[in-house]
Amino acid sequence: MKYRFLDRARQELIEAGVYYASQNRKLVDDLEQEVDRALSYLCEFPRAAKPIGRIHRSHKLHRFPYLLIYRITGAELVVVAVAHTARNPGYWRKRPATP
């Protein structure tokens, strides 16, 4: 299975990286590695993450306070949001299926 990010989800990941870069450059590398590992796992086991609602699923990153919110569309995993766990829950729900 392949994956793609909605533009806004990619921007959220970039913003998280910018924040961690201001703290410690190694944290950015760690965040990227953790997201890569999570996406590899989810592409192999797309239904493994917790369902939230009818079409979305949520996978919590282990070391960072972020959720990968995604939906499965055909043979593609679409990352809808990279949501900080302290943010307003569900803010991403109305995001369209296209980038």
From residue 10, how far is each of 15, 54, 85, 98 by CA, in Å?
Answer: 9, 23, 17, 13
Q: pTM of the predicted model, to two decimals? A: 0.88
SS3 59: strand
Q: What is the pLDDT along the chain (99 residues), one digit of tens a residue?
A: 999 999 999 999 999 999 999 999 999 999 999 999 999 999 999 999 999 988 899 999 999 999 999 999 999 999 999 999 987 777 777 776 655
Architecture of the CATH domain 2-84: 2-Layer Sandwich (3.30)
Closest CA to 53 of 70, 68, 73: 70
Domain boundaries of the chain, sorted by first residue: 2-84
Contact 57, 50 (CB under 8 A): yes
